[in-house]
């Protein structure tokens, strides 16, 4: 029975990378690379690596687990199981290595593979955001600051903003993966003592075989700042996902109702309120963002390690890596699905643009008066008092302004009326959107 939802409800292809079977195969892949290096340097028979690789194909996870139940050491259980299947070459399995030569190198392979999947998801999401940004570059809507109506903006601006943010995350991920792509063959305290005079060459050969770079210096482990940096990028991604999801949730409020998640013909919003159409997928993403961010203290606390290492990072990492990677992967896929099916309510968008009866265009009138010769501060004060008067009397702002001599003196009736068309007060928004999404997704 699954105990946590990343195994079931939120499972994606990412989970496969963190299964025990997958971890075992990565460990044996490193052991095979080590044997190849030893054989190339003349340390073991030339035939040994092929026997060890053949043996690895025969090792069963159940056998490794049975040995571990006796030895209480998971890596050594793998070594014994692999040795059993490798015939005479079993004597050369794990030669000179310490457990974390294998484990940390294998972990780098797993995290790089997982990171590349996240990168692919980011590209998918950005392609969807780019389409939405361009398609809605001129879809005018209310801009809101402090939860209040501000001035008009466009939906294209919203989506282009998110597109840019996930582009930065993609660049951060690439950078973090570059620093994650290191392995080690340096022994119990990092001195390479067990590998003899060929130690540097052997480490280089192993890492080249695996597509990694040799860590220039380690203790028994690769220092966890590399891992923490990568996980921090996942937390940033999750937070940006929450930013988008929270915006969708708010804009789907009954009082706003400008857009909504897609809703299936047989979908149920509430077990008791039949009318409900809840943005539950976006709410779920906001909840899962908390799960991802909550792991970060653990990643940071794993960086300090006593002397040449202690074991305090080990158990924590069994939760940390699969939780953060699997959850973030689900979140990226879910957000892309939500955005692909997003529904706009143009009637509500228009209603909200008119809700303040021209109040959201007070800035525009102020600037027009300043352009006609009124002092900017005087224009600001005139619009401030006029806006409050219009709100108090529940009148259109334009109507109140028509009664102001200073306005009548500088602006003709037609000019004033034209200023209250929100569709013509979006500045450079379409061009901003175009430029913001000009790079490759």
- Quick: pLDDT tens for 111-139: 999 999 999 999 999 999 999 999 999 99
Asked if residue 89 is part of any domain, the answer here is yes
d(C-alpha 122, C-alpha 329), whole Å: 9
Q: What is the pLDDT of residue 265?
A: 81
What is the predicted pLDDT for the residue at 53? 98
- 245, part of any domain: yes
pLDDT digits 0-9 by tens, 422-433: 999 999 999 999
- Identify the band that residue 240 occupies on the pLDDT scale cut at 50, 70 and 90: very high
Same-domain status, 145 and 294:
yes
Segments forming the whole domain that contains residue 187: 99-259+277-354+426-441
The answer on 344 and 411 residing in a single domain is no
Whole-number Cα distances in Å, 159 to 121, 235, 253, 338 = 17, 20, 19, 13
- Last-in-domain residue among 54, 73, 95: 95
Domain end point (choices 79, 95, 111): 95
Per-residue pLDDT for 266 more than 90?
A: no
Q: Residue 271 domain-assigned?
A: no
Residue 331: the pLDDT is: 98
Task: Indicate the residue among 95, 115, 147 that finishes a domain.
Answer: 95
Q: Are residues 167 and 64 in the same domain?
A: no
381 and 242 belong to one structural domain: no
Task: Give the burial string for 268-278 (b: 16+ CB within 10 Å, else e).
Answer: eeeeeeeeeeb
Do 348 and 363 lie in one domain? The reply is: no
pLDDT of residue 358: 98
Rounded to whole angstroms, the Cα distance separating 24 from 31 reads 11
Shared domain check, 63 and 19: yes
Examine residue 269 and state whether it is found in any structural domain, yes or no: no
Is residue 265 included in any domain, yes or no? no
- Give residue-wise pLDDT tens across range 47-70: 999 999 999 999 999 999 999 999
Q: What is the pLDDT of residues 329-350, one digit of tens each?
A: 999 999 999 999 999 999 999 9
pTM (two decimals): 0.96
Q: Classify each residue of 220-252 as buried b or exposed e, where b means 16 or more C-beta atoms within 10 Å of its C-beta.
A: bbbbbebbbbbbbbbbbbbebbbebbbbbbebb
Does the structure show a pLDDT above 90 at 274?
Answer: no
Distance CA 85, CA 91 (A): 11
The per-residue pLDDT for 276 is: 86
- How far apart CA 40 and CA 46 sit, in angstroms, is 7
Q: What is the CATH number of the domain that holds 292?
A: 1.20.200.10
What percentage of the chain exceeds 90 in pLDDT?
95
Same domain? For 315 and 226 the reply is yes
Same domain, 86 and 180: no
User: What was the pLDDT predicted at 139?
Assistant: 98
Residue 193's contacts (CB-CB under 8 Å, 6 or more residues apart) are 187
Same domain, 91 and 232: no
Give the CATH number of the domain where residue 410 resides. 1.10.40.30
Section 302-311 average pLDDT: 96
Residues with a catalytic annotation lie at: 146, 270
Q: Report the CATH number that the domain containing residue 25 is assigned in CATH.
A: 1.10.275.10
Does the residue 264 lie in any domain?
A: no
Question: Do both 199 and 306 map to the same domain?
Answer: yes
Same domain, 295 and 175: yes
For residues 11-24, give the mean pLDDT. Answer: 98
Residue 270 lies in a domain: no
pLDDT, averaged across the chain: 97
φ, ψ of residue 398 to 5 degrees: the values are: -60, -40
Mean pLDDT (whole number) for 392-410: 97
User: Do residues 425 and 141 make contact, with C-beta atoms less than 8 angstroms apart?
Assistant: no
Q: How high is the pLDDT of residue 264?
A: 82
Query: For residue 378, what pLDDT band results from cuts at 50, 70 and 90?
Result: very high
Residue 303 pLDDT: 97
Number of H helices, E strands in the chain: 18, 6
Domain count, the chain: 3
In a domain, 285, yes or no: yes
Based on the fold, state whether residues 234 and 343 are members of the same structural domain: yes
């Amino acid at each position: 029975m699954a105990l946590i939802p990343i195994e079931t409800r939120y499972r994606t292809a990412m989970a496969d990378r963190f299964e025990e079977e997958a971890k075992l195969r990565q460990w044996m892949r490193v052991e095979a690379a080590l044997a190849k290096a030893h054989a190339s340097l003349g340390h073991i028979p030339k035939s040994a690596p092929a026997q060890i690789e053949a043996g690895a194909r025969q090792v069963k996870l159940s056998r490794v687990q049975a040995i571990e139940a006796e030895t209480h050491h998971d890596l050594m259980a793998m070594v014994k199981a692999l040795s059993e299947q490798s015939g005479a070459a079993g004597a050369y399995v794990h030669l000179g290595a310490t457990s974390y030569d294998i484990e940390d190198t294998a972990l780098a392979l797993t995290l790089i593979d997982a990171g590349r999947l996240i990168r692919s998801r980011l590209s998918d999401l950005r392609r969807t955001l780019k389409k939405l940004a361009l398609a809605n570059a001129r879809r005018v809507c209310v801009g809101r600051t402090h939860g209040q109506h501000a001035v008009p903006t466009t939906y294209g601006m919203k989506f282009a903003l998110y597109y840019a943010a996930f582009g930065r995350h993609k660049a951060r991920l690439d950078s973090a993966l570059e620093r994650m792509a290191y392995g080690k063959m340096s022994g119990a305290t990092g001195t390479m003592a067990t590998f003899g005079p060929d130690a540097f060459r052997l480490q280089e050969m192993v890492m080249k075989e695996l597509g990694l770079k040799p860590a220039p210096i380690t203790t028994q482990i690769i220092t966890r700042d590399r891992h923490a940096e990568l996980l921090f990028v996942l937390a940033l991604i999750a937070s940006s996902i929450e930013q988008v999801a929270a915006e969708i949730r708010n804009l789907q409020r009954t009082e706003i109702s400008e857009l909504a998640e897609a809703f299936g013909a047989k979908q149920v919003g509430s077990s008791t309120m039949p009318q409900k159409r809840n943005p539950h997928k976006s709410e779920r993403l906001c909840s899962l963002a908390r799960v991802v961010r909550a792991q970060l203290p653990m990643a940071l606390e794993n960086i300090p390690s006593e002397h040449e290492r202690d074991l305090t990072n080990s158990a924590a990492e069994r939760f940390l890596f699969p939780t953060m990677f699997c959850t973030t992967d689900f979140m990226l896929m879910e957000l892309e699905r939500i955005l692909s099916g997003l529904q706009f309510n143009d009637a509500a968008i228009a209603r909200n643009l008119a809700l303040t009866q021209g109040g959201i265009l007070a800035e525009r009138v102020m600037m027009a008066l300043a352009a006609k010769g009124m002092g900017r501060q005087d224009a600001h004060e005139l619009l401030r008092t006029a806006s409050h008067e219009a709100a108090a009397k529940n009148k259109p702002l334009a109507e109140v302004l028509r009664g102001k001599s200073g306005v009548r003196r500088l602006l003709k009736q037609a000019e004033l009326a034209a200023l209250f068309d929100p569709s013509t007060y979006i500045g450079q928004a379409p061009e901003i959107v175009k430029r913001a999404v000009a790079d490759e997704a």
